[in-house]
Amino acid sequence: MKIFFGIVAIAIIGVIILGMAGCSAVVNTWNTLNAKFQATKGAESSYSAALNICTQKIKGVWEIANQYMKHESETFKGVAAARSGYTAAEDAFKQAQKTGASPKELTQRGDAVVQAALAFRIQIEAYPQLMAVQTSKDNIRNMQEAVEQINTAIGDWIFSIKSYNTYRGSAMPSIIGSFMTKFPSEIPYYEGKVKELNIDTLNPEKSK
């Protein structure tokens, strides 16, 4: 009889230990999934904030360019075309945000804004006369930094989604996560991000 009760006690202890281990696994999976999921949301917010700053910097450079450039020059036309391209790309991204577009569409449009910002930067840098004025130099430097910030932000955003997908697709999180409706099994994202800057492609005058 004592042996029987001993076996039962051991079995109960084993069940308790397994239950605690299972609860711990569930809690840890939830916490990790939540942290990675929120990281994707935070990365989107960081990109949006960097985008707003970049837009303001580009506006500042445009105002100076509009003042110092000869409007009939080909260079001015190139800068104007690049600015229009940036404005259109920014509007498309913000409209997609308002309509609740998928992360894949948002990251795709976000990358398009980065490419348009780089195109504007290239056009400005091709006009050395602007660099002769200290105010212009300061504004252009600030704009260059802002462009780099949105370029970094879109990369961080995509990386955070990849990190979430990698973890969510792992064995245990995949099993446990299937019961957690808050966390999607995968977050689609734009995978066609340009890795090398092709100046001729981004130059509005050469793409006509």
The Cα 173–Cα 182 span in angstroms is: 13
As averages over each run of 10 residues, the pLDDT of the chain (208 residues) reads 59 60 74 94 96 95 82 80 95 96 95 94 82 77 94 94 93 86 91 52 46
| pLDDT for the residue numbered 86 | 96
The Cα 161–Cα 59 span in angstroms is: 31
What predicted TM-score, i.e. pTM, was given to this entire model?
Answer: 0.80
The Cα 165–Cα 108 span in angstroms is: 17
Cα 46 to its chain centre, rounded Å, is: 8
| pLDDT for the residue numbered 135 | 72
Cβ atoms 193, 154 nearer than 8 A: yes
